[in-house]
Amino acid sequence: MKKNIKKLLCVLLCITSVFLLCSCESLYEYLDSDLSAEENSLPAPRLVSHFLDVGQGDSTFIQLPDGRTMLIDAGVTDEGDGIGKYISDLGCKRIDFLIATHPHSDHIGGMRRAIKELEVGEVYMPKVTADTFTYEKLLKELGNRGLKVKTAKAGVRIASSADPQYTVDLLAPCGDNYEGLNDYSAVVMIRYGGVSFLYTGDAELASETEMLKSGADLSADVVKIGHHGSSDSSCEEFVAAVGASYGVISCGENNDYGHPHKQALKRWEKAGTKLYRTDLNGTVIISSDGSEICVDTERQE
């Protein structure tokens, strides 16, 4: 009898073990499938473009999809500290690519102060000089920090990444002899997945015409509209070639130049571009995962 009980207990133990093993296996399978489901649903890295409200001037801080960063221009002198703080508050300690589109004070004035507390990687400027205190001081500061200035011109690839896949290219300046400084503006195109963001500095008709002639693909989903919305920029052919869904104009409230000009606004509206303005919307943040585009503004109009 005792032997039979022992046998029964043994059989029961075996059955329980097999059951437990099976349960464990299905638990592992469950955990495994859950983990891979979680892996698959990880959000795609984002390209985030902060069109900063710097009054009458220009400054855009960009977080690239692989974590690298870029600062295009830094407004007038008094805006520099605020730009630096904005970047630091995002948890960024470094600007990998610093671009001064052209040496006008509403673009480079605040640069020295903006980068004061930040590490800087590469610096790009067009090959043109300005006989101003602001420009000389910026060059001196960059020199003191051991930073060499690379020439910004059409055809230069600033950055690329295979995973996530994106590229940063310069589309202008195409030439090296312009009447005004604005047409020397470095024009930046970022392509990420199926979307593209274009930053045109203060490029005017001469540069826009050259970009059109160069055969470069100018089409973009998002555009930083040229020269604060001046009618000297945004010629009809250029606007049509860009064909952006979203456009941002960086300008100050009641500025002395009457920016943005009605003619330029009309050309973009005719092309179906939804416009945002830093004088009305404050800072505008446009981001993308490579397919969808999100727009966030500091203020509603």
Q: Which is nearer to Zn ion, 106 or 210 (CB)?
A: 106
Give the list of residues 6+ apart from residue 286 with CB closer than 8 angstroms, or none: 48, 49, 51, 197, 222, 246, 248, 293, 294, 295, 296
CA contacts within 13 A on the Cβ side of 247: 28
221 scored as a contact of Zn ion (CB under 5 A)? no
Least spacing, CB of residue 57 vs Zn ion, in Å: 6
183 scored as a contact of Zn ion (CB under 5 A)? no
Least spacing, CB of residue 254 vs Zn ion, in Å: 17
169 scored as a contact of Zn ion (CB under 5 A)? no
232 scored as a contact of Zn ion (CB under 5 A)? no
The residue with tokens 């101003």 is 132
Segment near Zn ion (CB under 5 A), from 67-75, 123-131, 197-205, 280-288? 197-205
Q: Which is nearer to Zn ion, 283 or 288 (CB)?
A: 283
Residues 260-289 that bind Zn ion (CB under 5 A): none
Q: Which is nearer to Zn ion, 102 or 153 (CB)?
A: 102
Q: What's the CA gap between 110 and 80, in Å, rounded?
A: 4
Q: Do 102 and 72 meet the contact criterion of CB atoms below 8 Å apart?
A: no
Question: Residue 195, exposed/middle/buried by CB under 10 A (0-12, 13-18, 19+)?
Answer: buried
- The end-to-end CA distance of the chain, in Å, is 90
Q: Do 190 and 168 meet the contact criterion of CB atoms below 8 Å apart?
A: yes
73 scored as a contact of Zn ion (CB under 5 A)? no
Least spacing, CB of residue 245 vs Zn ion, in Å: 24
202 scored as a contact of Zn ion (CB under 5 A)? yes
Least spacing, CB of residue 106 vs Zn ion, in Å: 4
> Is the four-CA dihedral 25, 27, 30, 33 of positive or negative sign?
negative
- Helix, strand, or coil here: 209? helix
Q: Which is nearer to Zn ion, 202 or 210 (CB)?
A: 202
Segment near Zn ion (CB under 5 A), from 160-168, 169-177, 201-209, 272-280? 201-209
- Helix, strand, or coil here: 284? strand
Q: Which is nearer to Zn ion, 173 or 290 (CB)?
A: 173
Residues 82-141 that bind Zn ion (CB under 5 A): 106
Under rule CB under 5 A, how many of the chain's residues touch Zn ion?
Answer: 2
Q: Which is nearer to Zn ion, 106 or 221 (CB)?
A: 106
The residue ranges that bind Zn ion (CB under 5 A) are: 106, 202
